[in-house]
Amino acid sequence: MSTFTKGKVLRYKKQGLKRRLKILDPNFNVVKAYLDTLKPLGISGDYKPRVILDEEDINSVKNLIRQNYIVIGAGARYLSKMYPHYNQVANIFINKGYNVVLVGSKEDKEKDKATYPNQVIDLRGKLSIRQSLAVISKSKLVISNDSAVSHMARAVGVKVLMVYGSTHPYFGFAPSKDEGDYIFKGLKCQPCTLHGKDSCKFGDFRCLTSISPQEVVEKSLLLL
């Protein structure tokens, strides 16, 4: 399209080559990179993407949720990004008096082999995207893998704790301090991939299994 346009073309510098070569920049942030593209137009500022929900969106999920709940996004496209102990995290939160809601796609549920406590409300595969956003928007906190649910939380202004596996927060998608926090073990093998994969050279996904449920809960409580 840019070849045939007669107007000025501004290109987003996504630093794809640097990221694929695993040259990590702690200051790189995808949102800021998009904003830098607009500076030649005189547009600047600390903008954040937002999804605006209406009353219909909120009302459509009122009967599906309870009070005082956190949302867990247990799914991801690749196994190397899926934390395997969210069921234990959910159990700890339930014992602390919180309700727990799972959101995501039908495929997320199919790939998740964990068995959750009976009290957990599993809405995976049952909601539209806007309904999922509505559920997230009324939660106390979101805990998610490096996947869509984490970005959905930020889009409706809910703090998120991201759990990193094969990828890396310096790839530009980590939450800023006012958006939440993340857990990243920093093993020598991390990151092993830019977007994730379904295999691990060690066979045990140690970047994820080395994170205890208690660590996830403790860091979540700091955000709460």
Q: What is the per-residue pLDDT across 124-144, written as a single tens digit (0 to 9) for each?
A: 999 999 999 999 999 999 999
Q: Structure tokens of 18?
A: 């640097």
**Which residue ranges make up each domain of the chain?**
16-223
* Mean pLDDT value of segment 80-93: 97
CATH topology of domain 16-223: Rossmann fold (3.40.50)
List all residues 6 or more positions away from 54 whose beta carbon is below 8 Å from its beta carbon: none
DSSP H or E run through 86? helix 86-95
Under the banding of pLDDT at 50, 70 and 90, the label for residue 6 is confident
Q: What pLDDT is stored for residue 49 in this prediction?
A: 84
List all residues 6 or more positions away from 154 whose beta carbon is below 8 Å from its beta carbon: 48, 49, 160, 175, 179, 180
Model pTM? 0.90
Q: Which of 129, 69, 130, 141 shows the shortest CA–CA distance to 105? A: 129
Contact 224, 140 (CB under 8 A): yes
Q: What pLDDT is stored for residue 59 in this prediction?
A: 96
On the question of pLDDT at 155 being above 80, the answer is yes
User: What is the largest distance, in Å, between two alpha-carbon atoms of the chain?
Assistant: 62
On the question of pLDDT at 93 being above 80, the answer is yes
